[in-house]
Structure 1
Amino acid sequence: MTNLKIALCKSSLLGPVSGADEIMLNYAVHLRQRGYDVEVVLLYSPNENDQYLRRLRSNGVPVTIIVRKSFLFAVLRMLRNLFSSVLFFLFLLRRAPERLRKFWQVALRLIAHLHYRECRAYFARNRPNLMHVFTPDSGAAMMIRAGHELGIPVLYHEMGTPHHMPMLEDYYRRLETVLPLCTEFAALSPRLASDWLVRFPFLRSVTVLPLIMERSKTFDLRGQLSAPPEETVFGFAARVEEGKGPMVLLDALATMNRERPVGIARIAGSGPQLSEVKARARELALGDACEFVGQYSEPLGRSAFMESLDVFVLPSLAEGTPNGIIEAMAHGIPIIASAVGGIPDIIDSQSGILIPPGDADALADAMLLLSGDPERRKRMGAAARERYEQLFEPAVVVPLMLKVYGRVAGNGHMAIASGNGHSHPWADVQLQTAIETVPL
């Protein structure tokens, strides 16, 4: 083990599928593999069958739970699980999602503050060299305060975008009071770093620290599934909600197939808009052109889904740096996505096609272009794979992450790891407050 003790911090794990949990898990596993003293610190107990908890443990990453029994948190989680299984609640959720989710966020924040003493006492006893706090998270502000009071350097790592859903606005307003207590603020891409500097102009700078994505086992499934060989398979994998643009995808699919069957959409995921999306598919008479394959929750399932696709599509209205896009790139799949959030940092003209958010006609045009040109798809897929290797492969991200850790921890702590001999393209990106924003 090295002399750098690292605590990766969240309130709890949010499975069955969570982009933030996937990012944290990959950081933890690769730090552990390189001999670093890393632990995941959770405020509350996750479900014992949570896939991220299971994968952390199987990779030898210690998981510490500060509050093993929180009656209020247990009740809140039980109510959420109960309501999620009631059709009437789903009916309400489709019509008032922001109000219900805002209540959930407020309740979690209040419960977190009830456990401040326990949180502070834990970090006082264990004293890591740095706390890496992943957000947005209901317990982030409390953990940041605890670390600051104890003199522990805190790296705040924002997983999202300032162009978020309205229900998160209150969360970020409250977060402004503790952000100055952090040693360093990191975003997932240069464009997001620039956007966050505009949102929080009091920050001195924002560092770029991308996610790590490791390509899973591959399968040869394209010829074994239901799509006719002359039809192009377009895949969507995300939470099925308005912000991810599933309705835009269906409208584009209907337009593309208006004269003759050209392609099918394979949709993986679950979420509050799933029943509406299925109803819309029936309304558009998409039939076999739209497949709902359910929610995958394990690396092999994700990999098998990606290997069944010709093109990955994500027409989001707002985004950070979506795990789904990066996993598709790792599998050599061309991308069609909205030019929002950090996506333009990920996809260039060689590896995919960017479209305006919410523009179903532009999406249909892009899908038609790629469906009729398998050679272009092949070239774009190869470029996507190369871009993944440059930006998100563990061998290039881990050295950058350790450089940031060494700077945050200070006091002579040096975090050094060998990479693949190539510097990360974003290695020297640390945007200052006066930077001009990059237009979409």
Structure 2
Amino acid sequence: MSRRRAVWVSTSTGTLGGVATYVRTMQRTPLWGEWDIRHVATHRDGSVATRVIVFLGGATAFVRELLLHRPAVVHLHTASYGSFARKSLLAWAARGARVPVVLHVHGGAFRDFYRAAPWLVRRYVRATLQMADAVVALGETWQRMLQEISPGARVVVIPNAVRPGAPVEQPGPGETVRVLFLGSIHEAKGAFLLLDAWRRLGDARRGPPADLVMAGNGAVDEARAKVADLGLADQVRVTGWVPQRQVETLLRGSHVLVLPSFAEGQPMALLEAMAQGLCVVASSVGGIPDLIDGECGVLVPPGDGDALVAALCTVLADPELRSRLGGRALDRVRERFDVDRVWRAIDGLYEDVTA
């Protein structure tokens, strides 16, 4: 068995969402070469037939890696529901081949998935988590949740990773503030709550002019229709999905990121905004409080439109506050979420589980 070969299993790096972004980020670190990592995709956006074909092809490639190359460790990136079903099967296959398993839990719906599952499925989830040599949680909030589900599991915290940049320059008094929503345009992400709040800002705001860009896939046409119905076409632009290479351009051209989600894991969009020194307004759900607090951002209760309006009014009217919060958010990225710190944490975990 090679001591320096690992297999990563996740969605395709071309898939929309945070897991694909995370994998692409880690591919550009020394970890990839030092552990001779092979990436196997078991999911891709597309029709049911496409997803089935991709999973069967990925599962075949995974078994081939186990049998022919005997990796030192397999690292499976899972979310909930179908994702967990797919990755858990591969985890048990690796266990049968006596290859150490790292199960990396992403996504904000895992607790709901577990609670809604039938008794037998919950028992299977607990057994799978306990079987893994290590379960990776993105933050302390999710570590506690996973430990409650499976008390016998070994759960370690390794956060998502991002490369810190230079802070954006905030506009001065009277200059236009550009606000960005970056993520799936759905109710669960608070996209339509945000549009309602933005309409109310016209009456409540006493600060500078502002505009809003909403970038992401999902209910794009519905969001555009609502923008028109609310009379916000001169203030709000819904771009739809944008390729990853344009995300940084969007971030660098913005001053505030707003993410009023109802459920989250540890959103990469929020981390990417922190890494550029944007002022962040987000809901206090899931793993978001593991990323920001009142020292480096503004948290609002999920679903609270009044609190969202008040938070946006505050940051839009105060350039010094935006700069201070954005600077502290960037400092936090450098201290905790810098990709150079995170890949070394994974390297240390591999050394531990393969010892």
- Asked whether the two chains share a fold, i.e. TM above 0.5, the reply is yes
TM-score (norm 2): 0.86
Q: Tell me how far apart the structure 2 counterparts of residues 134 and 217 of structure 1 sit (CA, whole Å).
A: 30
Of residues 104, 117, 130, the one that matches 1:180 is 130
* Structure 1 stretch displaced more, 140-149 or 22-31: 22-31
Q: Tell me how far apart the structure 2 counterparts of residues 240 and 403 of structure 1 sit (CA, whole Å).
A: 37
AA at the equivalent of 2:146: W
* Structure 1 stretch displaced more, 283-292 or 338-347: 283-292
Give the drift of 1:74. Answer: 7.9
- Indicate whether 1:246 and 2:208 are aligned: no
- Indicate whether 1:280 and 2:231 are aligned: no
Cα 1:350/1:218, change in 2 over 3 Å: closer
Aligned to 1:265: 212
Paired residues of 1:188 and 1:321 also in contact (CA < 8 A) = yes
Q: Tell me how far apart the structure 2 counterparts of residues 74 and 316 of structure 1 sit (CA, whole Å).
A: 27
CA offsets per residue over residues 193-215 of structure 1, 9 Å max, x none?
A: 112222x1343331001122124
Paired residues of 1:162 and 1:195 also in contact (CA < 8 A) = no
Q: Tell me how far apart the structure 1 counterparts of residues 320 and 59 of structure 2 sit (CA, whole Å).
A: 57
Cα 1:256/1:115, change in 2 over 3 Å: closer
Unaligned runs of 5+ in 1: 48-72, 78-103, 411-440
Q: Tell me how far apart the structure 1 counterparts of residues 62 and 239 of structure 2 sit (CA, whole Å).
A: 41
Paired residues of 1:113 and 1:142 also in contact (CA < 8 A) = no
Give the drift of 1:377. Answer: 0.6
- Indicate whether 1:340 and 2:271 are aligned: no
Aligned to 1:302: 247
Question: Secondary structure at the residue paired with 2:41?
Answer: strand
Question: Secondary structure at the residue paired with 2:9?
Answer: strand
Aligned to 1:120: 63
Q: Percent identity?
A: 26
Question: Secondary structure at the residue paired with 1:258?
Answer: helix
Give the drift of 1:167. Answer: 11
Paired residues of 1:264 and 1:289 also in contact (CA < 8 A) = yes
CA offsets per residue over residues 154-197 of structure 1, 9 Å max, x none?
A: 00000123566669955974544433321111111111111222
Cα 1:392/1:39, change in 2 over 3 Å: same
1:335-414 equivalences in 2 (<5 Å): 335-410=280-355
Q: Tell me how far apart the structure 2 counterparts of residues 234 and 205 of structure 1 sit (CA, whole Å).
A: 40
AA at the equivalent of 2:96: E
Aligned to 2:9: 9
Q: Tell me how far apart the structure 2 counterparts of residues 405 and 203 of structure 1 sit (CA, whole Å).
A: 20
Q: Tell me how far apart the structure 2 counterparts of residues 409 and 157 of structure 1 sit (CA, whole Å).
A: 16
AA at the equivalent of 1:208: V
Of residues 146, 160, 171, the one that matches 2:107 is 160
Q: Tell me how far apart the structure 1 counterparts of residues 252 and 70 of structure 2 sit (CA, whole Å).
A: 44
Q: Tell me how far apart the structure 2 counterparts of residues 114 and 327 of structure 1 sit (CA, whole Å).
A: 32
Aligned to 1:31: 30
Of residues 58, 68, 78, the one that matches 1:135 is 78
Paired residues of 1:253 and 1:264 also in contact (CA < 8 A) = no
Paired residues of 2:130 and 2:154 also in contact (CA < 8 A) = no
Q: Tell me how far apart the structure 1 counterparts of residues 42 and 330 of structure 2 sit (CA, whole Å).
A: 37
Q: Tell me how far apart the structure 2 counterparts of residues 352 and 284 of structure 1 sit (CA, whole Å).
A: 28
Give the drift of 1:294. Answer: 3.0
AA at the equivalent of 1:331: Q
1:3-152 equivalences in 2 (<5 Å): 3-10=3-10, 12-13=11-12, 15-32=14-31, 35-43=34-42, 76-77=49-50, 108=52, 112=55, 119-136=62-79, 137=83, 138-152=85-99
Cα 1:75/1:248, change in 2 over 3 Å: closer
- Indicate whether 1:330 and 2:284 are aligned: no
AA at the equivalent of 1:296: V
Give the drift of 1:6. Answer: 1.3
Cα 1:167/1:155, change in 2 over 3 Å: closer
Paired residues of 1:24 and 1:134 also in contact (CA < 8 A) = no
Q: Tell me how far apart the structure 1 counterparts of residues 58 and 4 of structure 2 sit (CA, whole Å).
A: 27
Give the drift of 1:285. Answer: 1.4
Give the drift of 1:268. Answer: 0.7
Q: Tell me how far apart the structure 2 counterparts of residues 115 and 397 of structure 1 sit (CA, whole Å).
A: 26
Paired residues of 1:162 and 1:196 also in contact (CA < 8 A) = no
Taking only aligned residues, the RMSD between alpha carbons, in angstroms, comes to 3.1
Paired residues of 2:12 and 2:42 also in contact (CA < 8 A) = no
Give the drift of 1:229. Answer: 5.8
* Structure 1 stretch displaced more, 116-125 or 18-27: 116-125
Give the drift of 1:123. Answer: 0.8
- Indicate whether 1:214 and 2:213 are aligned: no
Paired residues of 2:296 and 2:325 also in contact (CA < 8 A) = yes
Paired residues of 1:211 and 1:397 also in contact (CA < 8 A) = yes
Give the drift of 1:112. Answer: 4.9
Paired residues of 1:28 and 1:39 also in contact (CA < 8 A) = no
Cα 1:219/1:370, change in 2 over 3 Å: closer
Unaligned runs of 5+ in 2: none
AA at the equivalent of 2:210: G
Give the drift of 1:295. Answer: 1.9
Question: Secondary structure at the residue paired with 1:37?
Answer: coil
